[in-house]
Amino acid sequence: MTDVLARRDRALTPEETEELLRDRLGDGVQRSVLEFGVFTVWIAQEAWVAAARTCRDEPLLAYDMFDNAFGVDAREEGFDYVAILYSTSTGNRIVLRTRCEGGREAPVCPSMVEVYRGADWMERETWDMFGIDFPGHPSVSPRILTVENFEGWPLRKDFHLASRAAKPWPGVAEPKEMDDEGNIIEREKRIGDAPGPYELDKVMGEQAKLANPLPEPPAVTEEGEEVAATAPVADRASDSGQVLASDQERGLEEEQKLRHEADVELSGGEAEREPTVDEPASDVADQGESAIPAAEAAKKADDRRKAQAEARAKKAAERAAADEPGDDPAGPDDPEGDA
């Protein structure tokens, strides 16, 4: 049927398409619009079928698929009929649109069925819904979507719904939340009531930060002396999900094992100490085997246990002191927080 010479990378631009159509159809092309990525060409009624034939048969256009068609109620100006064509070779889509003759009383549009067989039922549906007649169509009746004896054209703007005549539409365009007396409930905007997805993302990010605070800075005692050089590394790693270098992993596991033992020891003496956020996951401590000889390990473990028990006790005291003085200034109740 169509010599498909055009390919996707050589598809015509909308401007070139319009130029080509103007060349073939002359005054048949009235105007064109390119909006929202949709290229619409307004075609004069007389050139309607010729335009479809040109779109199908012109090798550079090759609109070989009849995609969709429908009517549009243009109020007092009558009705429009819109056909959407697609080219499977170029990937282009074009919208042909025409103003039907006959105004609101007897709208008429030439049928495209001789060019595209697929237009058959589309035109029947358009006749069914808008009452647009299609001369050249085999037969638009009987009705295809509504019952055969249906009266009127339901998608016309002036079509009256019988149920609405008996009972007005009970809804409202912008429903409000109301109490039992019918008073509108106004609610203050809070975090989470952000207006759009982008703002919502930001707010959710802030909330996530609040819910998961960053680990505390390296454990430095009040005297300024660093307690355990490896402890902060373990802290950060166990909390932040940081990816560990494989050579560090083994030492870290050993470290955590030691700390876990220290915790067990501590919890005996200090039963009231609250569980802290950055406690190492105890299951990690079970993984891996100790590569260090037993005697050396025991000695190291003793030293570290002492140092870490001291550090943790101090940290717990600091934390308890820091928690007491009231709200966090950037807390979730802050009304400026949701801007």
Partner 1 sequence: MGLMDQVELPQPVKYVFNWGRKYSLWCFNFGLACCAIEFIAASTSRHDFIRHGVIPFAHGPRQADLLVVSGTLTDKMAPAVKRLYEEMAEPKYVISFGSCANCGGPYWDSYSVTKGVDQIIPVDVYVPGCPPRPEALLDGIIALQHRIQNESLKDRIAGRRLDPVTLGADAPLALEGSSS
Q: Is residue 147 part of the contact set for partner 1 (CB under 8 A)?
A: yes
Please state the closest distance from residue 118 (CB atom) to partner 1, in A.
22
Nearest to partner 1 of 103, 142 (CB atom):
142
Using the rule CB under 8 A, which residue among 4, 33, 106, 145 binds partner 1? 145
Q: Which stretch binds partner 1 (CB under 8 A): 153-161, 180-188, 199-207, 211-219?
A: 153-161
Residue of 164, 179, 182, 271 interacting with partner 1 (CB under 8 A): 164
Among 169, 289, 325, 327, binds partner 1 (CB under 8 A): 169
Nearer residue to partner 1 within complex by CB, 73 or 235: 73
Binding flag, residue 142, partner 1 (CB under 8 A): no
Q: Which is nearer to partner 1, 150 or 298 (CB)?
A: 150
Answer for which of 14, 154, 218, 332 binds partner 1 (CB under 8 A) is 154
Binding test (CB under 8 A) with partner 1, winner from 163, 179, 243, 271: 163
173 binds partner 1 (CB under 8 A): no
146 belongs to the binding site for partner 1 (CB under 8 A): yes
**Which residues are bridge partners to 81 per DSSP?**
71, 98
Instruction: Find the shortest distance in angstroms from Cβ 142 to partner 1.
Output: 11
Stretch that binds partner 1, among 156-164, 235-243, 298-306, 307-315 (CB under 8 A): 156-164
- Residues with Cβ < 8 Å from 294, sequence gap 6 or more? none
Among 159, 199, 240, 320, the residue binding partner 1 under the rule CB under 8 A is: 159
For partner 1, the closer CB: 169 or 198: 169
Does 321 engage in binding with partner 1 (CB under 8 A)?
no
CA-to-CA separations, 145 to 107, 150, 170, in angstroms, rounded:
19, 10, 27
Q: How far is the CB of 158 from partner 1 (least distance, A)?
A: 13
Q: What is the nearest approach in angstroms of partner 1 to the Cβ of residue 304?
A: 55
Question: Measuring CA to CA, which residue among 297, 307, 302 is closest to residue 226?
Answer: 307
Which of 1, 161, 295, 322 binds partner 1 (CB under 8 A)? It is 161
Question: Based on CB atoms, which residue is closest to partner 1, 168 or 217?
Answer: 168
CB of 253 to partner 1, least distance (A): 44
Closest CA to 56 of 71, 70, 66: 66
The residues of the shown chain that bind partner 1, judged by CB under 8 A, are 145-147, 150, 152, 154, 159, 161-164, 169
